[in-house]
């Protein structure tokens, strides 16, 4: 009996030792797996950091090469490039009046409506395509304006504010300027802007944005070089109320960039100058 108990005890001890050894081996194998994973992670991190550093170096070299090429351009050519940018991106707003004596070369868009000759045909093509594909009835209600035209519109707005809102004359002048630009500060005098509305709803108010014409133009106007000039919520930047009908020509390249960034012309020009 004692011999049997001894054999059982030995067997139990052997079994316990086997379990302990097995657990130890499994533990060691787990540690090895963790170590291998750590090594793989270290390699991945190292490769990623190297790739980022290489990209940064390449980008810096590219920018330096571009700057060197620009610096090597003759001064006359540099000035010509700057003038091209300034001409298409010219800002006219309450704080930046139209240059004295500015006189655009005009061409007919449709009927009596004129625009700068560089964009008149594009504006008409955009309106035709909008009519064909939007389901709306687009029409121009204002394009190029002379100084006299703008003065008449502004004076009429001042009178309406006084009559309809019972505002004193001095206050009416300020309120009117938020909706109708002061003479000399209107983009319409540049010849690069047009007010396009939908005949289904021919009223100049915010509901215009829901019309098929405006929905289509907001998406496709950059393809023709136009931007929605006064987006909603930007009055403090542009100095003009939200106008979902006012489109400004800046050229296709600039129009696509401005629209893609979701910024105003003022912000875009500031960004370009700061690059």
Active site (catalytic) residues: 243
- The residues, ordered by sequence, that sit 6+ positions from 204 with a Cβ below 8 Å of its Cβ are 141, 195, 197, 243, 245
φ, ψ for residue 138 (rounded to 5)?
Answer: -70, 145
Tokens of 115: 């625009």
What are the start-end ranges of the H helices in the chain? 2-72, 75-88, 120-133, 147-165, 169-179, 212-220, 235-238, 252-261, 265-274
Question: For residue 125, how many other CB atoms are within 10 A of its CB?
Answer: 13
Q: Residue 132: count other Cβ atoms within 10 Å of its Cβ.
A: 9
* Crossing angle between the packed helical segments 212-220 and 120-133, to the nearest 10 degrees: 130
Q: Within 10 A of 16 (CB to CB), how many other CB atoms are there?
A: 10
Dist CA 88 CA 95 (whole Å): 18
- Class of residue 164 by CB neighbours under 10 A (exposed 0-12, middle 13-18, buried 19+): exposed
d(CA 131, CA 140): 12
Instruction: Write out the two tokens for 172.
Output: 């009416």
226 sits in which H/E element? strand 226-230
Eight-class DSSP state of 264: -
Task: Name which of 186, 4, 24 is nearest 102 in CA terms.
Answer: 186
């Amino acid at each position: 009996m004692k011999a049997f108990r001894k054999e059982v005890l030995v067997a139990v001890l052997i079994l316990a030792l086997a379990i302990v050894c097995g657990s130890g081996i499994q533990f060691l194998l787990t540690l090895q797996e963790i170590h291998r994973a750590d090594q793989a992670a270290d390699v991945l991190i190292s490769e990623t950091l190297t790739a980022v550093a290489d990209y940064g170096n390449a980008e810096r070299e590219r920018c330096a090469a571009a700057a060197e090429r620009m610096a090597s351009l003759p001064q006359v050519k540099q000035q010509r490039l700057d003038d091209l940018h300034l001409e298409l991106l010219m800002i006219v707003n309450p704080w930046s009046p139209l240059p004295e004596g500015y006189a655009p070369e005009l061409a007919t868009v449709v009927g009596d409506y004129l625009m700068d000759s560089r964009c008149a045909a594009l504006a008409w093509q955009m309106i035709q395509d909008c009519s064909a594909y939007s389901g709306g009835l687009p029409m121009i209600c204002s394009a190029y304006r002379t100084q006299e035209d703008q003065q008449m519109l502004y004076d009429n707005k001042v009178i309406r504010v006084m009559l309809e809102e019972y505002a004193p004359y001095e206050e009416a002048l300020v309120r009117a300027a938020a909706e109708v630009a002061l003479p000399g500060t209107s983009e319409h005098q540049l010849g690069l802007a047009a007010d396009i509305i939908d005949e289904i709803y021919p009223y100049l108010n915010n509901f215009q944005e829901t019309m098929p014409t405006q929905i289509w133009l907001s998406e496709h106007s950059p393809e023709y070089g136009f931007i929605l000039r006064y987006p909603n919520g930007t009055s403090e930047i542009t100095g003009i109320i939200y106008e979902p009908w006012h489109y400004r020509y800046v050229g296709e390249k600039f129009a696509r960039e401005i629209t893609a960034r979701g910024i105003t012309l003022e912000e875009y020009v500031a960004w370009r100058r700061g690059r």
